[in-house]
A and B are shown apart, each in its own frame.
Chain A
């Protein structure tokens, strides 16, 4: 029975995947092939599948909210690590989530009016400013990371990393001495040639692996939906 179920889900994934791929890839600009896709209704089916996916993803937000409230509700009532702060963090999170849901509902129903909306004020005033403060802390975490890297093991790549980091930082200094200018030009070359090449290499590798992962799903080799 389990094998039949697995074969059934695999068949659904392959059929829906191939139809969607054909609709998106061949649906336009490829002459007779595109005409074939359009006349057989594959284009319409692709649109329906994409709309279904969008609706399903929207529903997952509801699942997420239920998950958030239940997980943190449990942590408030039965903290697993016995730390008081765990309860406090979870309590703040649950209260904030419920408050935003209530405020949002009141705004949508027209009970709360005013410009800018309260939820927007909360987002701009609380979340954005706290995130900006956290972003400021990233620098210190990075410096600590560089120190940790060199303390852990002094390897060739660790040394190269530290030297490049120093060149980048010193090269960005706003002074006009000949040495700083020279380091600045080395920094520009580093960013334009090796850093850019390495970054493209990494991104190309990710793109190729993603393409292969997609193909594995299409031909039924990915097992995540079969078990």
Chain B
């Protein structure tokens, strides 16, 4: 890592820390301080879970190619938070939910997420470790997708698919569509994202999956996370605009910055 990247990373982390802590305090004092924009998938999710419970069908959540300890650990954690919110609405039904994972390191995460969901409803006696299923995905998640096509045939009412799906997501969403099941899908891969947009009932695009806790849980810290992401996003846009303006003006901004930093 070069020095510039190190410096930028430190600045981003410190900025995110400060904004996150400060905004959390403000939102704790005034809950209506920041209005979250509408995300249709989060609006539809409680209805979809309710439909599955009323039809005595189960809710299936799947985490593809994301686990703990790899480069997509944070994606796994973000999806786990979304799934927790889904599962705590699901566990009040008579049919146990199904949690499929493709990475072995995600099995303890999935078991813990499910346990927390049952515990949050004081229904821990109904928790079964067997509700978490590991289907090894291999180098591509095609094997995992194939396994999920059999899972979606098991009296499933609603599927929430997240993690790192590629084009093979089409197999799962296709099978779910043929069985008239609801599907909410997302992926950090562009191919998977495109498939999710076309073939799911509701889609979570890009970083929206990271906001699951804020939209469905709504704690001050979770909402502060969304605000922090927005602040960083606006700073990034500002930075891009400055770079463009600098290019168009023949380097006025970079000369100004250089003189401010004492470069002559």
Contacts and interface: CB of A to CB of B under 8 A. Distances in A.
A217 interface: yes
Nearest to B95: A80
Contact of B229 (A21, A64, A144, A212): A212
Contacts of B107: 60, 63-64, 67
B171 A209 contact: no
A145 B190 CA distance: 16
A213 B197 contact: no
Interface string A197-227: 0010111111011111111111101111001
Interface string B185-198: 00010100101011
Contact of A142 (B17, B104, B195, B229): B195
Contacts of B171: 134, 137-138, 141
Nearest to A165: B198
A36 to B, nearest CB: 14
Given A29-B2, A63-B104, A224-B80, A134 B13 contact: no
B210 A210 contact: yes
B259 interface: no
A218 B77 contact: no
B207 A209 contact: yes
A82 to B, nearest CB: 9
A217 B134 contact: no
Nearest to B120: A227
Contacts of B229: 205, 208-209, 212
A148 B199 contact: yes
Given A210-B75, A227-B116, A67 B198 contact: no
Interface of A: 21, 25-26, 28-30, 53-54, 56-57, 60-61, 63-65, 67-68, 70-71, 74, 80-81, 83, 85-86, 89, 127, 130-131, 134-135, 137-138, 141-142, 144-146, 148-149, 161, 199, 201-206, 208-219, 221-224, 227
Interface of B: 1-3, 6, 9-10, 12-13, 16-17, 20-21, 24, 67-69, 74-75, 77-78, 80-81, 84, 104-105, 107-108, 112-113, 116, 119-120, 129-130, 132-136, 138, 140, 142-143, 145-146, 150, 153-155, 167-168, 170-171, 173-174, 177, 188, 190, 193, 195, 197-199, 205-207, 210-211, 219, 221, 224-225, 228-229, 232-233, 236
